[in-house]
Structure 1
Amino acid sequence: MSRFRYSFQKIVDLKTNEKTQAEWILSSAVNDLRVEEDQLSDLKHHKSEVQETLVSAAANRTTVSELMLYQKYLDHIDHQILNKNAAVRAAQINVEDKQSNLTAKMREEKVWSKAREKAKLHFTAALLKKDQEALDEMSVSRHKQPS
């Protein structure tokens, strides 16, 4: 009995590898997005703490220059938050791009895998037909032999 050899197996393997690589790249992009979101959350939390400190300082005896320093620092944090929001949006777009790339790679792999399975089914059917013909021939030969 001969073995099934698919002439395009290297393409199937390549498409599988491309899909796996796209999964890794998407995973990395998702991780980058989480890092950006965590940093944004930390900045917002830090801003809240500084605002509380500013309110507390304003309620106590504090110089105007100190209050202005707090306000300047809050402005700096607001600027960082704006930049981080932009970084989060960029990371989200990157994740969406990598997801669509993975979807395309999965589709390509599925097409080639189905083609391979179809070829294997044809091969198996042809092999079974050949075996059945051989059995039929042996049966006919035995039937024709005088007993």
Structure 2
Amino acid sequence: MKFNYVYQKVVDLKSNEKTQAEWLLSAAVGELQTEKRSLHQLVEEKAYVDKTILVESENCSSMLRLQELQRYVEHLNLLIQNKLADIQNAEQNVERNQLHLNGKMLDEKVWLKAKEKAQSSFQQMIILREQNELDEMATVRFAMRAR
């Protein structure tokens, strides 16, 4: 006799939901890493322009060129601020997806535990049935020998 769990489709559904939550978390982490790389590039670009301003000011470059570089630095500062906000949003998204995954993992664990209990009960029932059959066979043999 084979064990057939009545709620197997629910267990499969919970497993699929957990897998989807893992994918969402993975995508959110990837997005966060992309945002951090982008921020790093902006910071490097700003450092390079700051160094360029310093060199050009020592070389007595034109005021127009220095003002242009300064406006570019201000623009980079604005981009950096925006990127920091994007990173914060991405981190919040990662946290949300982590909480969602934790909930799905808990759901799956509950259903798997219920399945294990049902399977254990089924195995106990099979063992009890086999034992009863063996007892009955022994009783019949004893009764036949007693005649």
Which residue identity is paired with 2:136? E
Overall identity of the aligned pairs, in %: 41
Which residue identity is paired with 2:92? I
Give CA-to-partner distance per residue, 1:96-122, whole Å, 9 cap, x none.
000000000000000000000000000
Aligned residue in 2 for 1:85: 84
* TM-score with structure 2 setting the length: 0.98
Aligned 1:1-147 pairs, distance under 5 A:
2-146=1-145
CA distance in 1, matches of 2:45, 2:140: 92
Give CA-to-partner distance per residue, 1:46-80, whole Å, 9 cap, x none.
10000000000000021111110000000000000
Which residue identity is paired with 2:34? V
CA distance in 2, matches of 1:21, 1:146: 65
CA distance in 2, matches of 1:67, 1:128: 89
Structure 1 residue 93 displacement after superposition: 0.2
CA distance in 1, matches of 2:58, 2:144: 116
| Corresponding residue SS for 1:146 | helix
Which residue identity is paired with 2:123? T
**Deviating 4+ runs (over 3 angstroms):** none
Q: Give unmatched runs, 5+ long, in structure 2.
A: none
The CA RMSD over aligned residues, in Å, is 0.7
Q: Give unmatched runs, 5+ long, in structure 1.
A: none
